[in-house]
Amino acid sequence: MLITGIIGYPLETTYSPRMHTAAFRAKKIDGVYLRIPVEPTRLKDVLDALGVIGCRGVNVTNPHKETVLLFLNRISKEAQEVGAVNTVVFDEDGLSGYNTDVYGFRVLLEHADIDLQGKNVLMIGAGGVAKAAAWVLKQYQPDRLYVHDIERAKAEALASRFDAATVIPADALQTTLNNTAMVINASPVDFQDDVTPFMQRGSLYLDLNYKFPLRRHGNIRCINGLEMLLYQGVRAFEIFTGEKAPVAVMQKALGMNHD
């Protein structure tokens, strides 16, 4: 049996098990995808135990995307540059880390069809998923990336990886919102009603969460992170199994419309 799963804490909301379980069935793979809550102090012990039972790989979500780097034997070039890992594979000679959030966010942006060159972007939150998003954003050549996090040190760490980035405090958010083409919510908090009233007409609110229902906010486009979840999962499935992912099946499992 192919043992896979997701580790995080507290794992209150995750759609990954339904997506991967559906993919295993469609591909006739004898596999299981487990939900594994792991407190931060137990991360290494759980990784060791998963290796002992023959686990093939796990996805990694908050709060472990950055700390898991300490326990890996190999890290992909992309994940090293991002500074976060969301997919771990158990090989015979150790643990390998990848970042499939990068692929998921890239597809999400492509489908959003937004021109960011020479424009400003605001990132709320500066954790592992924000690092992946910022890494992809470089290719879109925005004029400036504004970063806000309640932990200023985390915001500064993310900004240091982006040439044209500025850390802003909470009292500067409203002014910044008036001059941004896109706001990315990479925090676990629902900010829709707090930020959209101050955004430019025609701008994009991109919530990397998928647990918050999207609401209409005048002429602001609002997109959630469900498509990012799908495509990071597609890439992770292919890493775990070595087979092409059944994308349409995974979309359906997430309740998404597909062509």
Q: Is 6 in contact with 35 (CB distance < 8 Å)? A: yes
**65 carries an active-site annotation:** yes
Query: Out of 28, 44, 65, 252, which one is annotated catalytic?
Result: 65
Residues carrying an active site annotation? 65
